[in-house]
Structures are given as structure tokens and as C-alpha cells.
Amino acid sequence: MAFLSKRQNKTPLGLYVHVPFCRSKCEYCDFYSLACKDDKLMDGYLDAVCAHIKEAGALAPAYKVDTIYFGGGTPSFFGADGISTILATIRRNFDVDSNAEITVECNPDSVTDRLLHRIYAEGVNRISLGIQTDDDEILKKLGRPHTYAQAVSAFQRIRKAGFKNVSVDLMYGLPGQTLRNWQETMDNVLRLLPEHISCYGLKVEPGTPLYSYKEIANLPDDDLQADMYLSAVEMLRSRGYRHYEISNFARKGLYSRHNMKYWTGGEYLGFGPSASSDFAGKRFVLSRDLQSYISGIRDGGEVMEDVQEIPLRERAGEYLMLRLRTYQGIAADEYEQKFLLPFDPIRKILAKYRELGYVGVNDDGRWNLTAKGYLISNTILSELLIAQDDSQPLSRFY
């Protein structure tokens, strides 16, 4: 039994690798990435990430890695060799669970058969494909370097390569998009039968090209966006997808295990510029600049920014804010035991919203938000957080 208890003692850990390269920048994107194919820079990045993984692996013998996620940027644009090298380095330096979920984000224009076969062989078992919309005109407006036909072909090739767990990203609230257009997109994409779908409302972020002309971009207003969201929720549910997070839907059991860590307070370590971590009680972000990330890792300099130790009281706020994004929601006993704060003030507000149809209670007595509630979750959350701020701890030893 000795090996069993040892195994139980290991804490699960997610790894995130940020690949900051793209063919081109999309008009709305505010993630850190560079639109270039510079071999020297990519080599420098690869060396740095691998060195970083080595360094970090030495600090995490008590962890078992059960999810790995390659995001970006566009990992598929970075190529099979790089991904394989990083994955191999991870396996050499971390204890990776044999059932680990390993996801690679791909764009339709850079998914080659060679890449798919290679990463499949390396153990990647989940692909997230960025489709966004089936409307080529909108794709063009967004600055996406592919058509919908390319996306369909990419999806089919992913299947052919053997992937059983495929997610697609879609967006609503796009320039010129109508409710009917959005419903058609959903219809068409659902014919591909993906296991997982993310539907994101477009958020116009300051600093992006779109931001500078948002007034004339013909963006759907809040009411139309709400209708788009609700119609997606309804359609996906009727086709058997579980609505397990505000913007995420999946076949039963095929939730993104990696992303669930973000919403349920799991630990994760990030690699690559701008990647964030929540590890051993600290939350931090890595340098948001590739050059300083590379030189920082190489010269043993500082690459961590915004290092924060999150006090329990703040974790309690995060619990509400993150957990209520998911179908699991929150529970009174869990809350009180974890944070030693009274649930009553929280319950009072939730009960009020429940009467209005924004909040539900599931069979286990856990509170969660309804689709309508998700749509105004910030309003509900800020009210909950005020109540939490005003509440007195249950224990004087707090």
C-alpha cells in the first residue's frame, strides 16, 4: 500500500506553455504574440522555455502533472518540432500522469498533417481549433488568415489523424454579425460534431486595432449579444452539450480539465512570456516581452512580474468569482469550512436572484448561475463581494 499513499500525496498540477508566435495579428487580439517567422527568435524562445521547464521541474517533486496546455499565439504555427521538444522536456523534468490531458491550440491555416501525426504520436490528446465564424467576410474583417473552408478541412484532418477530443472556438458579437448569421454558424459548426465548444463574446480591448475604430465597426449592441448568447446556450443544450462554464460547452465528461483548474482554484505553472501561474500560494505573471524573457532565463535574471501572495480573505472572493463561472457553483459548507466566513450574507443575495431566475440550486444543494445569470454575472458578483467584505469571520482565530 505504500506506493498508493505516496501517489495520493502528490498534488495535481497543470502546465501552460505560451507560444507567442502568429502568422498575423488579429484585429481584436490582446494576447501577447509576435506576427513573424524568425527562426533565430523561435530558437531562442525554445531554448528559454526548455531551460525554464528544467528549472521549475526541480522545484515541483511533490506534484503530478495531470494537464498540459499549449496556448498562444498559435502553437500550430510554431510547428511540430518545437512542440515535441517542449513536451519531451516536460516529461523529463516533471512527473506527468499517464492520463494527462494534453491540449494544443491550432489555427486552420497552420494545421498540417505532418504536425498532427507528430504531436499525436507524442501523446497530445486534445486539439483546440480556432474557427470563430463560418462567415468569410467577417473572418477577413477580423484579420484572420484563413477561410471557413480551411477550417472545415482542418477539422476533418484532425479527426483523421486520430484525435478523439476536439474543441472549437467560436465568437459572437462580431462586426456586422446578425442573430441569424450567428445561428447559422452554430448550425454549420455543430455538423462537425466537436466534443467541446467555446463561445466567446467579442470584447473590444484597449490597445487593439479594433479598439480605434470600434464606433464604426458595426458591432452588435449588448442586447443583441445577449440574444446571441442565449440562443447558443439553448441550441447547444438541445444537442446534448453540457453548459459547464459561462462560455464553455462539452459532451459529458469532456470538459477542459486544464481550464477547470483556473476556475476551481487548482494550481498551475506557466512557461513562456506573459504566461501566468498560481503555484504554492503565489500568483505571478512572466515577463510580457519575449526578449526579456529569453535573457532573463538565460542570465538567471528576474522573469516574474506581479508576484502576489493571495491572502485567505482574497481567496474567498476568488472562490465566488471563479466557481460561479462553472456549473458546479458554490456550496455553503465548502465556503464556510474553507474560508471561515459566514455563508448567510451570500445566501441572502443568491436567494433574491434565484427568485428572479438568475440563480439556481442543483441536486447537491450547490448554488450556480443560470444562463441569464451568467450574462449579468459581474453585477451579481460585485454584490456578493460587497456582502463578503462586510461579513465578520466565523472564528476569532482568523
Partner 1 sequence: MTELSQIRNFSIIAHIDHGKSTLADRLLEQCNAIDQRIRAEQMLDSMELERERGITIKATAVTLRYTADNGQTYSLNLIDTPGHVDFNYEVSRSLAACEGAILVVDASQGVEAQTLANTYLAIDAGLEVLPVINKIDLPSARPEEVKSEIEDIIGIPAEESPEISAKNGINIHSVLEMIVKDVPAPTGDRSAPLQALIFDSQYDAYRGVIVYTRIKAGIVRPGQDIRMMATGAEYKVVEVGTMGPGGLNPADALGAGEVGYITASIKTVADTRVGDTVTTVENPASEPLPGYRQVQPMVFSGIYPADGAKYQDLRDALEKLQLNDASMTYELESSIALGFGFRCGFLGLLHMEIIQERLEREYNLDLITTAPNVVYRVTKTDGQTLMVYTPLDYPDPMEIQLAEEPYAKVNLIAPQEYVGNIMELAQQRRGEFKDMVYLDANRVELHYDMPLNEIIYDFFDALKSRTRGYGSLDYELIGYRPSRLVKLDILLNGEVVDALSFILFADNAYPRARKICEKLKDNIPRAQFEIPVQAAIGGKIIARETIKALRKDVLAKCYGGDITRKKKLLEKQKEGKKRMRTFGTVSVPSEAFMAVLKLDED
Residues that bind partner 1 (CB under 8 A): 16, 200-201, 203, 222-223, 225-226, 229, 246-247, 259, 262-263, 268, 270, 274-278, 283, 285, 306, 308, 317-318, 321-322, 325, 356, 358, 374-379, 381-383, 385-386, 389
Q: To the nearest whole angstrom, how small is the minimum distance from the Cβ of residue 233 to partner 1?
A: 12
Alpha carbon separation from 118 to 66, 209, 252 (Å, rounded): 21, 35, 28
Query: Which of residues 107 and 150 has its CB atom nearest to partner 1 in the complex?
Result: 107
Query: Which of residues 153 and 276 has its CB atom nearest to partner 1 in the complex?
Result: 276
Q: To the nearest whole angstrom, how small is the minimum distance from the Cβ of residue 134 to partner 1?
A: 19
Q: To the nearest whole angstrom, how small is the minimum distance from the Cβ of residue 329 to partner 1?
A: 15
Give the Cα separation of 209 and 214 in Å (integer): 9
Respond yes or no on whether the N-terminal peptide bond of residue 73 is cis (omega within 30° of 0): yes
* Grid coordinates of 190: 455543430
Q: To the nearest whole angstrom, how small is the minimum distance from the Cβ of residue 353 to partner 1?
A: 8
3-state secondary structure of 388: helix
Query: Which of residues 95 and 318 has its CB atom nearest to partner 1 in the complex?
Result: 318
Query: Which of residues 59 and 356 has its CB atom nearest to partner 1 in the complex?
Result: 356
Q: To the nearest whole angstrom, how small is the minimum distance from the Cβ of residue 199 to partner 1?
A: 8
Give the Cα separation of 182 and 133 in Å (integer): 8
CB 63 within 8 A of CB 12: yes
Query: Which of residues 80 and 246 has its CB atom nearest to partner 1 in the complex?
Result: 246
Q: To the nearest whole angstrom, how small is the minimum distance from the Cβ of residue 172 to partner 1?
A: 9
Give the Cα separation of 310 and 296 in Å (integer): 25
* Grid coordinates of 320: 465566488
Residue with cell 471561515: 340
Q: To the nearest whole angstrom, how small is the minimum distance from the Cβ of residue 235 to partner 1?
A: 17
> In terms of Cα–Cα distance, which of 377, 373, 368, 371 is closest to 237?
371
Query: Which of residues 87 and 246 has its CB atom nearest to partner 1 in the complex?
Result: 246
* Grid coordinates of 115: 504536425
Residue with cell 496546455: 69
Q: To the nearest whole angstrom, how small is the minimum distance from the Cβ of residue 52 to partner 1?
A: 16
Alpha carbon separation from 262 to 62, 205, 257, 321 (Å, rounded): 20, 21, 9, 11
Q: Residue 283: beta bridge partners?
A: 278, 308
Query: Which of residues 229 and 339 has its CB atom nearest to partner 1 in the complex?
Result: 229
> In terms of Cα–Cα distance, which of 24, 26, 12 is closest to 265?
12
Give the Cα separation of 23 and 36 in Å (integer): 6
Half-sphere exposure of 207 (CA within 13 A, CB side): 4
Query: Which of residues 147 and 276 has its CB atom nearest to partner 1 in the complex?
Result: 276
Query: Which of residues 153 and 208 has its CB atom nearest to partner 1 in the complex?
Result: 208
* Secondary element (H or E) of residue 359: strand 359-361
Q: To the nearest whole angstrom, how small is the minimum distance from the Cβ of residue 321 to partner 1?
A: 6
Give the Cα separation of 244 and 266 in Å (integer): 17
